[in-house]
Amino acid sequence: MDLQLTDKRALVTGSTAGIGLAIATSLAREGAAVTVNGRTQKRVDDAVARIAAEAPGARVTGVAADLVTPEGTQAVLAALPEADILVNNLGIFEPKPFAEITDDDWRLFLEVNVLTGARLSRAYLPGMRRRNWGRVVFISSESGINIPVEMIHYGVTKTAQLALARGLAETTAGTAVTVNVLAVRKRPPSPPASPGRRRRP
C-alpha cells in the first residue's frame, strides 16, 4: 500500500515500544522520515535499530527527551523544527481508587496525556497550515467515553484528548491538514500485585 508519505517528516511520541513503535515502523515502511522519542537514550537507540532492521532503507532518527519538561520539549523541537505528521502517543495510566487520586496525580496525568500533545500541536500546526498539508493524530482510548471506575483520572484525560482533537480539527477546516483521534479499544492490562504507575516509554 502506498500512502504517499515519501519524504514526509513524522514525529511519534512515546515510540520506543508498543503502539508507538508499531506506528513509527509503519510510517518508516511507507517512506516517511521518522523521529522516535523516548525518555532514555538506550531505549531510543534500541527502537531506531529495530525499525531500521524491520524497514530496510528507512530514514529514522531518535530524540531522548521527557516531553513533560520544557527542556525535553525544546530538545525535540530543536531536532525536528518542522513536522508533516505528528502522532501524540505518549501517555500514562494507573489503576487507583478515586478517593486516593491526589491533586499531584491529576496534574501529572493532565500534563502527560493532554498537555504534551497540545504543546506539540501548537508548535507544528502553523507549519502544516503554511504548507497546506499535515496530519495530527492523538492516540486515545475507549476509556475516554466509557470511563473506567478504577482509573477515572486516566479516563478524564482521554476525554480531554477527544475534545482537544475536535477543536483543533475545526481550526484546520478548508485546508489539507487533518486532526484525528485513534481510540484504542483495549484497556490497559490489569496491574501486578503491587501496582505502580505505568507509562508508555
124 is known as an active-site residue: no
Cβ distance 42 to 17 under 8 Å? Answer: no
Q: By C-alpha distance, which of 74, 89, 72 is closest to 34?
A: 89
Q: Which three cell numbers stand for residue 85?
A: 505528521
Q: How far apart are CA 165 and CA 170, in angstroms?
A: 9
Cβ distance 57 to 86 under 8 Å? Answer: no
Cβ distance 25 to 53 under 8 Å? Answer: no
CA distances from 83 to 12, 15, 38, 134 (A): 10, 16, 17, 8
Q: Which of 62, 154, 155, 165 is catalytic?
A: 154
Cβ distance 46 to 201 under 8 Å? Answer: no
Q: How far apart are CA 66 and CA 104, in angstroms?
A: 18
Type of residue at 75: A
Q: By C-alpha distance, which of 89, 113, 87, 71 is closest to 197?
A: 113
Report the catalytic residues: 154
